[in-house]
A = this chain, B = another copy of it.
Amino acid sequence: MGAGRPVAPSDPERAGPSDRGRVVVASNRGPVTFVPDEAGRPVPRRGVGGLVSALTGALQRTGGLWVAAAMSDLDRELAARGRLDVAELGWNFGVRSLVVDPETYDRFYNGVSNRVLWFLHHYLWDVPRAPSFGPQEREAWEAYRKVNRTFARALAEEGEAQGGPAYLVQDYHLSLVPAALRELRPGAPVAHFFHIPFADPTYVRLLPTALRRELLAGMLGADVLGFHTERWARNFLGCCEAEGIRVDRRRRAVSWQGREVRVRPYPLGADVEGLAAAADTPEARAALAELEAWRGEARLVLRVDRAELSKNILRGFLAFELFLRRYPEWRGRVRFLALLNPSRGDLEEYAAYVEQCLAVAERVNRELGSGGWRPLEVSLKDDFPRAVAAYQLYDVLLVNPVFDGMNLVAKEGPVLNRRDGVLVLSENAGAFEEVGRYAVRVNPFDVLETAEAIAAALAMDREERARRARALRRAVRRNPLERWVEAQLADLEDARRRG
C-alpha cells in the first residue's frame, strides 16, 4: 500500500449514509502512516492504492474502525498512546494501531508472511532446496500465530464498541484471524479476503502438514472467503478437498464445524477517480513533461512493478532483448522503461533477484545500445507521480507476472493512457479474467511469445489499438471500486440470514 499519495476528492454521493451496520477492517499495513513535519509534529499520510481507497471508502459510508500493525517507530510510539488521530484526513472512522515487539513482528512478517506464504502462493521456491522447515521456522510460525491472536483479540474487544460490526479481515498475513476471532465472538460475521493467488492442492503440500491444516482451519473461521478470481477460489476449494474437508463445488461452499463457508471471487476494481486526481498533481505533471522529453520520438514500452520475484522482471527484460534481436528495425526507435518500486530489501532472495535483473539490463544496453540510444532504462525508486505520468505515455504496457492475485497495474495503466497503448498481459494475472480479451495474451514463462507480443503490439494498426484501448477502459469502469466491499458485505448479510 505504501504512503504518500494525495487523498482522492471524496464523492458526496458515495460517502452518504449506509443502510449497513458498522465495519471493522483488519490488515497488517494500515491506511495511514505518520511522518513528522518540519516542527516534528506527526502528520498522517494516507496509503496509496486501490485497496486503501476501497476500504476507506466503505468505512466512510458505514463508520467503524481499521485495525492494523504499527509500522514505523513513530507509528509505534503514537499507537502506544491510544487511538490514532486521523481527523485531518476527514475520516469518519477510527484507526487503531497494534504494537508488536519488533522481533516477533519480523518473524511474523518476514519469516512467515513474506518468506513462506508469499512464496508458497506465488510458486517462488526452488523446490529441490527450499522451503526447508526446521526449528527456526517453527519459531517464526509461533510468532505468526501470536500476531494473528493479537489481532483477533483486538477485533473482539472492539466488537462491543462498534455495535456488532461486520469484520473484513485482509490477506495472507492474517489467515488465522477468522478462527481465532470466532472463538472469541462466535456469532460475529467475518469475511476474509486473500489478495494473492492461492496455490493448488499439491503445491500447498510444500507446507508442513500441521501448518497447512492450521492455515485452512484459520481461514475457515470466516463466513465468507474472498479471492480476486475464480481460479484462486477454485484452488482453495481443491485444497480443502485434498485435506478431506467437505466441499460443494457447484455452490462454492465448504462445510466446516457445522457452518457453511462461502468461497467467492470478488475482483477488486481500479480507483479511477483517485488515479485521475493523482495524474492532476503538480508532481505528476512535472514528471510527465520530463518523461516526454526523455522519450523523444521513440515508442515506449513500460513496466511498473514492485521489484518482486513474482513480477517476472527478468523474463520481461529477456523478452525485450529477444525482440530487439529478432526485429532489428526497431533498434533506436523504441525504449523500455522499467519503474521498479524497491521491495523487501531485507530478504536476500530479493536483493539477488534485483541484481540479476540489473545485470541483464546492463548487458542489453551494452550489447544492443548505440550512440545516444539506451534501449532499457531501469529506475529503482518509489515514485508514484512518475508511474502515473508514465501510464499516460506508454505505447506498450508489459504486465507479465509469473502469478499474481490481481495486478492493478493492468487496470490502472489503461485508465490513464492517452496513446491507445496496448496491454501485453500474462494469462496468470488475476486481472486477465476481466481484461484479458482486450490484451495481447502471453504465457509469462514463454520469452519467445512475449518478445513476439511486444512486436505485435508495436506493429498493431491505429484502429485496432483504439478499439482495444476503448474496450479496456470500459471493462475497467464496469467494475467500480465500491462493488468489491459491497459484494462481500452483501454475502456476509446473506450468510447471517441463512443461519
Contacts and interface: CB of A to CB of B under 8 A. Distances in A.
A203 to B, nearest CB: 6
A257 interface: no
Contacts of A208: 443, 445-446, 449
A318 B427 contact: no
Nearest to A322: B134
B124 A447 contact: no
A122 B125 CA distance: 13
Interface in A347-367: 353, 356
A126 interface: yes
A315 interface: yes
B315 A446 contact: no
Interface string A411-453: 0000000000000000110000000000001010111110000
Contacts of A231: 202, 242
Interface stretch (A193-201, A327-335, A459-467): A193-201
B135 A448 contact: yes
A123 to B, nearest CB: 5
Contacts of A446: 133, 208-209
B445 A132 contact: yes
A358 B202 CA distance: 29
A342 interface: no
Nearest to A132: B447
B132 A428 contact: no
Given A199-B202, A202-B200, A448 B209 contact: no
Contacts of A447: 132-134
Contacts of A314: 128-129
Contacts of A242: 231
A123 B124 CA distance: 11
A274 B231 CA distance: 46
A197 B207 contact: no
Contacts of A199: 202
A336 interface: no
A200 B232 CA distance: 13
A133 B449 contact: yes
A353 B447 CA distance: 26
Given A126-B126, A205-B428, A209-B427, A131 B445 contact: yes
A349 to B, nearest CB: 8
A4 interface: no
B202 A445 contact: no
A343 interface: no
Interface string A196-226: 0101111101111100000000000000000
Contacts of A470: none
Nearest to A308: B128
A309 to B, nearest CB: 4
Contact of A353 (B128, B448, B449): B128
A238 B235 CA distance: 10
Contact of A125 (B127, B138, B202, B428): B127
Enumerate the 4 nearest inter-chain pairs by beta-carbon distance, A residue then B residue, closest first: A200-B200, A126-B126, A208-B446, A128-B309
19 contacts: A122-B127, A123-B127, A123-B206, A124-B128, A125-B126, A125-B127, A126-B126, A128-B402, A133-B447, A133-B449, A134-B448, A138-B448, A202-B203, A202-B231, A202-B428, A205-B428, A205-B443, A208-B445, A208-B446
